């Protein structure tokens, strides 16, 4: 062997090699990704900002949303939701593909790259996608005059953190499941949809009956949304709750990644 293989370097940077390969694959889909990431916010901003928002404000002004314009009230949630769906796309599909459809992970694992590095590499690339999606959304929020440039810039890292927590768990789930058909059904209908509707996205969580509120409590979308509202509009959340929200999301991220890296190693070593 004289090709100049430096195993310690691979052990340090292997995850980045995987991430860069993932980004290269993603770049083949750049047109679709751009269309989704620009089109989606446009539809929401037009439909909700002009349509529903007007209706809500005609009904009760801004009294239900702590004096915030309705479209601005839901903007942090839309932003976090974008991070969540973006990172979900880039963790779930590549993972099932890597283990099952095209078995790319097994090829990667036949080099000095480890299962742990593959997991982290996929995750990092997915995080890049979330950052891209959120940035596009934020620029559109500025363009539509929903938020003012300034402190609202914090909405971006908060949304990415929300997506990051959820994405880490999805990375684990996608590595764990064997039958993806059922998984997609459950994920779409019983996780994503209820999470989007019941996380205080369109109305404060507290305006729902108490027995429905736990959906929000375990939802990364709710935690990220509350943090975003506080950061951008001084929404009036106690500092204790800010810490609770942050702790929840960081715990979700760390737990998800720990489980995912273990599951990747385990499944590759079978």
Partner 1 sequence: MSKPLISVRGLTKKFGDFTAVAGIDFDVAKGESFGLLGPNGAGKSTTMRILAATSTRTSGTVEILDKDPEQFGPLVRAHLGVVPQQDNLDGELTVSENLYIYGRYFGLSKKFIKGKIEELLEFAQLEEKRDVKVEALSGGMKRRLTIARGLVSEPDILLLDEPTTGLDPQARHILWDRLFRLKEQGVTLVLTTHFMDEAEQLCDRLVVMDNGAIMAEGSPSGLIKQYSSKEVLEVRFGSDRNKEVAPQLATMCERMETLPDRVLMYTEDGEALLEQIMQAKLHPTTSLVRRSSLEDVFLRLTGRTLIE
- Contact positions toward partner 1, by CB under 8 A? 1-7, 9-11, 13-14, 17-18, 20-21, 24-25, 28, 102-104, 106-114, 268-270
Judged by CB, which is closer to partner 1: 17, or 184? Answer: 17
Q: Nearest distance from residue 226's CB to partner 1, in Å?
A: 39
Q: Nearest distance from residue 102's CB to partner 1, in Å?
A: 7
With beta carbons less than 8 A apart as the criterion, state whether 204 and 225 touch: no
Judged by CB, which is closer to partner 1: 210, or 269? Answer: 269
Judged by CB, which is closer to partner 1: 25, or 62? Answer: 25
Judged by CB, which is closer to partner 1: 110, or 240? Answer: 110
With beta carbons less than 8 A apart as the criterion, state whether 171 and 95 touch: yes
Q: Nearest distance from residue 20's CB to partner 1, in Å?
A: 8
Judged by CB, which is closer to partner 1: 10, or 237? Answer: 10
SS3 per-residue string spanning the chain: CCCCCCHHHHHHHHHHHHHHHHHHHHHCCHHHHHHHHHHHHHHHHHHHHHHHHHHHHHHHCCHHHCCCCHHHHHHHHHHHHHHHHHHHHHHHHHHHHHHHHCCHHHHHHCCCCCHHHHHHHHHHHHHHHHHHHHHHHHHHHHHCCCCCCCHHHHHHHHHHHHHHHHHHHHHHHHHHCCCHHHHHHHHHHHHHHHHHHCCCCCCCHHHCCHHHHHHHHCCHHHHHHHHHHHHHHCCCCCHHHHHHHHHHHHHHHHHHHHHHHHHHHHHHCC
Q: Nearest distance from residue 40's CB to partner 1, in Å?
A: 24
Angle at 47 between CA 90 and CA 142, to 5 degrees: 70
Q: Nearest distance from residue 111's CB to partner 1, in Å?
A: 4
Judged by CB, which is closer to partner 1: 146, or 268? Answer: 268
Q: Nearest distance from residue 25's CB to partner 1, in Å?
A: 6
With beta carbons less than 8 A apart as the criterion, state whether 123 and 167 touch: yes
Judged by CB, which is closer to partner 1: 1, or 210? Answer: 1
Judged by CB, which is closer to partner 1: 65, or 114? Answer: 114
Q: Nearest distance from residue 259's CB to partner 1, in Å?
A: 19
Q: Nearest distance from residue 114's CB to partner 1, in Å?
A: 6
Instruction: Say which residue the tokens 């404000």 belong to.
Output: 57
């Amino acid at each position: 062997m004289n090709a100049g293989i430096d195993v310690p370097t691979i052990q340090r940077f292997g995850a980045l090699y995987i991430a860069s390969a993932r980004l290269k694959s993603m770049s083949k889909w750049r047109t679709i990704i751009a269309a989704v990431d620009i089109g989606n916010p446009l539809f929401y901003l037009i439909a909700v900002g002009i349509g529903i928002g007007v209706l809500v404000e005609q009904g009760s002004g801004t009294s239900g949303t702590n004096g915030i314009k309705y479209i601005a009230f839901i903007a942090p949630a839309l932003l976090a939701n974008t991070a969540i769906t973006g990172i979900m796309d880039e963790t779930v599909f590549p993972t099932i593909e890597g283990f099952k459809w095209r078995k790319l992970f097994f090829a990667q694992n036949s080099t000095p790259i480890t299962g742990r590095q593959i997991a982290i590499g996929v995750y990092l690339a997915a995080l890049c996608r979330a950052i891209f999606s959120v940035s596009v959304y934020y620029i559109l929020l500025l363009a539509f005059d929903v938020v003012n440039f300034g402190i609202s810039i914090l909405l971006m890292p908060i949304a990415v953190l929300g997506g990051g927590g959820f994405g880490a768990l999805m990375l684990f789930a996608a590595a764990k499941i064997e039958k993806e058909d059922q998984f997609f059904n459950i994920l779409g209908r019983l996780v994503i949809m209820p999470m989007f509707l019941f996380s205080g996205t369109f109305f404060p969580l507290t305006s729902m009956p108490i027995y429905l509120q736990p959906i929000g409590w375990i939802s990364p979308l709710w935690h990220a949304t509350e943090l975003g509202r506080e950061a951008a509009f001084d929404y009036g959340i106690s500092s204790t709750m800010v810490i609770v929200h942050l702790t929840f999301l960081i715990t979700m991220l760390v737990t998800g990644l720990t489980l995912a890296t273990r599951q990747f190693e385990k499944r590759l070593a079978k």
